[in-house]
Structure 1
Amino acid sequence: MSDGRTATEHAGRRRAAVLGSPIAHSLSPVLHRAAYAELGLTGWSYDRFETDEAALPGFLAGLGPEWAGLSLTMPLKRAVIPLLDGISDTAAAVEAVNTVVLTEDGRRTGDNTDIPGMVAALRERGVESVESAAVLGAGATASSALAALARICTGEVVAYVRSAARAAEMRQWGERLGVEVRTEDWDDAARALHAPLVIATTPAGTTDALAARLPERPATLFDVLYEPWPTELAARWSAYGGAVVSGLDLLVHQAVLQVERMTGRGPAPLAAMRRAGELALASR
């Protein structure tokens, strides 16, 4: 793939970075630098910057023509939208941008690689389509999960949430994304474990109590966490013979798409990026 840049431009100094707050834990620099090394992009660098919503406009205003792209994490995925020249349909669907592509003429375009990254991570594990699914949680990642399920789920999605307000939000997202969403109280979350696909979008420790309630033959779990890993639920799920997709799988697949969009080169080296991420996590 190519974005029209010449070989000379690709060989020159180009910059990218991940922004967010907190950001010190981010694996994005490890993944992107591994990709640059494999692709031979010796003039490319990728850094991290602690940036909150108040600092974001100034940061963007200070970027020079050497900047090719930005990865965004919380709390910037929505805050960046008014600062961009345009966003993709995927990003608009969930009102969240995790990728900004910067052109040398100063144009800023937002995209969301989390959603296709989820779909790609599931496809890698053989999950192309499911008749129904369950989502644990109702935050920003849960809305991305619904958007991914809109592409692969042919039937109902049941979301397990802790409040009536969260339930209403998930139903609204379902209507917007074209997904049939039914909500249930978190106290009944063990029912989710029988679904053909379970996507856990909750913070560390939240699903630990569910691990003891697994059915004998669980299907597929997509747990978006990658640290600590494995979660108790993921470890028990795997021990019972179920398929498990991890947060690192998601992180790598969405980063693959970011690298391709920012550099104009592809395919990005999925295996090398995953190895780099695994080594970085193992050393923590």
Structure 2
Amino acid sequence: MTEFSTIKNPILPGFTPDPAVLGHEDDYYLATSTFNWYPGIQIFHSKDLAHWDLQSYVFNDPEFLHLAGTDTPAGIWAPDLSFDKKTGKFWIVMCQMHNMNGNLFDQDNYAVWSDSINGPWSKPIYLNSIGFDCSLFHDDDGKHWAVTLEWDTRKGYQHPGAIVLEQFDPEQGKLVGPTKRISRGGTDRGCLEAPHIYKHNGYYYLMTAEGGTGYGHGVVVQRSKKIEGPYESDPQNPIITSTPYRYFRRGDPDSLRIDLYNQSVLAKVWSWFVSSYSY
């Protein structure tokens, strides 16, 4: 008989934002953002995905990553945790957000590796500065690919911009080859971010978050026979969301989508506000 663990939510209380989960052999590991706090990037361990223990940190020495003077919530964002089967190395890709003033994000993306999930981890390898939510995909042909949200604030561009693919060479410690924009979203919800690539049965699957970080948030999946695309959107997109109906919000920088929570209540609040403060 199969034994099931009882899940008691939240499985990780407190300060554990942006979780990235990796299954490796009989274990699960989870990395979280730590923003401008040290030690940087928490690593948790679990055997059943329901019960987690804090196991280690990636950055224990401020000399490896300078965060002094960083405003909250900038700092270390959205670590991606992966394992390269060919070399047996664990990889973490993360964004260091320096400044968010005026919606003109100033950030750098780095990668670190280790032979053990408990470290020690390498010195940060600079990747790019085009956006955030960068992740690393290790293909079965030995190639490595960085996929990033390109943040473009110019008028006429979707905000955020597009999902960008770049080949990564671990031996050279840098990105190589051309930069390719592979998606501008699988829906019209806007606020495209958090790209990850997976491979299954000959297809490359691009998973993204769309619709913002509030009440319109959704998980979207597209697929392609080639990693460079073109990617086709699943007809059921978004595959997970609390707001299932279709809506168009491309180019709208509002990430919370407060109006999608309860429009009738918000309409009453707005009517009261206007009548109370009109002259």
TM-score bracket, shorter-length normalisation: under 0.3
Answer 1 or 2: which has greater helix percent. 1
Answer 1 or 2: which has greater strand percent. 2
TM-score, normalised relative to structure 2: 0.27
TM-score, normalised relative to structure 1: 0.26
